[in-house]
Amino acid sequence: MEILNELEKTVTRNALRFHVSHAIFCPACQTVMDVRRAVEVDFRKSDQLVHSAIRCAACYDRNQEYFNKVASERGLTVEITDGRVLYKAEPAAPRVRKPAAAEPVIGRRYVRAR
Ligand SMILES: [Zn+2]
């Protein structure tokens, strides 16, 4: 199941990336789209995609109620793909520092035999 979840996450990420790359600019505010701050809004009627819209996160947050209102008026369900959630940074692994050398070693040292 873990593999299927990872696969679904990868497919969803790539689908959002595809839509963002086609939009380039946010249709509402004309800023350059970034997949980490993009939201795809899919309108579905009984599991069939009716309309798909893509917005930057700021525009989506501003118009979230409007999307829901339009969907409820037309009897559609809204499916959100939020890049902020998909690309949420996982906590980085702790870095292990190498113990510092007593003195810096540059290249090889050749010691003359006595
Ligand atoms: Zn926008």
pLDDT tens figures, 33-80: 999 999 999 999 988 999 999 999 999 999 999 999 999 999 999 999
Question: pTM score, two decimals?
Answer: 0.71
Paired tokens of 9 = 């996450």
pLDDT number for residue 96: 83
pLDDT tens digits, residue range 4-18? 888 998 999 999 999
CB neighbour class for 70 (10 Å; exposed up to 12, middle 13-18, buried from 19)? middle
Cα–ligand 1 centroid distance for 24 (angstroms): 11
Cα–ligand 1 centroid distance for 45 (angstroms): 26
Edge-to-edge strand list for the sheet holding 48-56: 48-56, 38-45, 77-82
Cα–ligand 1 centroid distance for 53 (angstroms): 11
Residue 114, pLDDT > 70, answer no
Among 85, 26, 84, CA closest to 56: 26
Cα–ligand 1 centroid distance for 55 (angstroms): 5
Confidence of residue 105 (pLDDT cuts 50, 70, 90): low
